[in-house]
Copies of this chain bind each other. A is one copy, B any other.
Amino acid sequence: MIDHTHAADLQSWVTSANGHAAFPIQNLPLGIFSPPGGAPRAGVAIGDYILDIKSIIDILPTGLQAALNQTRLNSFFALPTALRRELRKVMSASLSDLAFQKVVEPALHPMDTCELHLPATIGDYTDFYVGIHHATHVGQLFRPDNPLLPNYKYVPIGYHGRASSIRPSGVPVVRPVGQTKGPQDSEPRFGPTRRLDYELELGLWIGEGNALGEPIPIGQAADHIAGFCLLNDWSARDFQAWEYVPLGPFLAKNFHSTISPWVITPEALAPFRTAQPARDAADPKPLPYLWDDGDQAGGALALDLSVTLSTTRMRDQGLPDFALSHGPSSNMYWTPAQIVAHHASNGCNLQPGDLLGTGTISGPDRSAYGSLLEISRGGAEPITLPSGEQRTFLEDGDEVVLTATAQREGFASIGFGECRARILPAKG
């Protein structure tokens, strides 16, 4: 999987790509965009530009042409992995070899003039809970002596989320209203959430699906992932506390979720695979349907994840975004392949374009906490921002940005692009 397309010295004739923080020629993520005045279409990010695939569809292998001449990537995701991989080779050659420049250059649009859309129609969205430190911290708020439940190290815990309210980076989030009931209250009240939070997650795009009743073996699970993105699972903690027993979070989570619009392919991430961190000696070995030696040896992702915050006052004062957290993606107790294999283990059919969230990825200490619930210890310890403002949870006008980068000695770094959104006041 690590081939010439990853060579650190590979350069593009799109000069802004060379040394680009997110989109050098070694990345080549896919998305759906509209150029100014144009309809949605498939594109590839290269430096500060988007390559309009529709305009150069003739130079693609014929097996890819119909799947990419669409307004969503679902048909492309549905292709066999080997065919999907062809696109990277063609794009890498087209954007590095000067012989292609004359044909391809007219298909480039400056990214800052384009609108980015959801890359696929999301049939079903599932959110997992594999960030073990997050699960531990949240558990500690409710059960100080017994934070992790007995099933956690056997079952990749997940639950179904809402697909319709997922939006790409940049779409503002309206503060939701809902029921809350504090420990002192005799009756619940209905109004805007007072504990609006973000959650730092990775998203997995499902590629080829499985038929209903046909599980995906763990050894094949990675091939069913068409790509990755960032995911902000906005959460109203006060709604969540009141509603979530016994069937799990519902209105606390389904009012809006934000994803980064670029699909970072497994091929682009091949150099940044790593071993799943060793379990503690006391931890149980996963059941066989979740265990694959190859997956354990190289199925985890080595990414740096960051969250920043800006407030209206900070932006007015010209202050830079404030770094809320920074940590590695290795804080996942289960690999992406384990997540997929578990989801399909009962025969549940996954479909191309389904989105699977990892759950909040937090590190063990405060510098890498992936939510304000953890950073503020359930709202008890406010943080102070450079503007002098304090925050326990998000206020109107606050903007949260998630980023992910992959770095490794001897390879060009790549990034996921931003997952950004600002909070608007509640309606009415």
Contact = CB atoms under 8 A, between A and B. Distances in A.
Nearest to A343: B251
Contacts of A251: 342-343, 345-346, 348
Contact of A255 (B124, B160, B248, B348): B348
Given A155-B242, A256-B212, A346 B247 contact: no
A299 B48 CA distance: 56
Interface residues of A, number: 61
Nearest to A139: B246
Given A187-B284, A214-B427, A346 B239 contact: yes
Interface string A390-427: 00000000000000000000000000000000000001
Chain B CB count within 10 A is highest, among A161, A213, A242, for A213
Contacts of A158: 247, 250
A302 B36 CA distance: 54
B346 A160 contact: no
Nearest to A192: B346
Interface string A324-347: 000000000000000000110111
Interface in A123-154: 123-124, 126, 129, 149, 151, 154
Interface string A219-253: 00000000000000000100100111111111100
Interface of A: 123-124, 126, 129, 149, 151, 154-155, 157-165, 167, 174, 176-179, 181, 187-188, 190, 212-215, 236, 239, 242-251, 254-256, 284, 287-289, 342-343, 345-351, 354, 427
